[in-house]
Amino acid sequence: MIELVLGGARSGKSRYAEQQAIESGKEVIYIATAEARDDEMKARIGLHQQSRPQHWVTVEEPIKLASVINKYDQQNSCLLVDCLTLWLSNILFDKKGELQQTVFDNETTALFDSLAQFSGQIILVSNELGLGVIAMDKMTRRFVDEAGLLHQKIATLSDKVVLVTAGLPQVLK
């Protein structure tokens, strides 16, 4: 089963996804895509680490998400990916902010292929970015567009799609 959980910043989407993983009754493999590049991000990552059960297996992978999904695709496991938005920024732009089209194309194709063949349970968390105003700069517009397209494709592959707003889950599919 594939579940996509969307929501804005601090919407409660990660907490909701973690609860779904707990309720699965399976071994949880938490796949973290964030990289701690500054103190604020280190603090955010720390809060996420403190909020989840310590017995969960954590795999940190900022780029090769499909490979990790393929490795842990088992019936007795529930994979929890948090989050696709950070993964997207990692594959779309290099550390200097330059577009890396080949990496982006290869990794998104690998992810879609992985999800199309997935046989276990996976919960994918991502930020819904398309509800605000259109950004003024080209790079941000590209990122928001790619996030929207990513969400549409994954929603098509998903068995369940949930939008979390103010901590309240709304099942869309």
For residues 35 and 45, give the distance between their C-alpha atoms in angstroms, rounded to a whole number. Answer: 9
Q: At which residue do the structure tokens 């949930």 appear?
A: 162
For residues 7 and 57, give the distance between their C-alpha atoms in angstroms, rounded to a whole number. Answer: 24
For residues 87 and 80, give the distance between their C-alpha atoms in angstroms, rounded to a whole number. Answer: 13
Q: The tokens of 161 are what? A: 């799609």
Catalytic hit among 4, 32, 48, 114: 48
* Whether 81 contacts 61, CB under 8 Å: no
- Asked if 55 is an active-site residue, the reply is no
Write out the catalytic residue numbers: 48
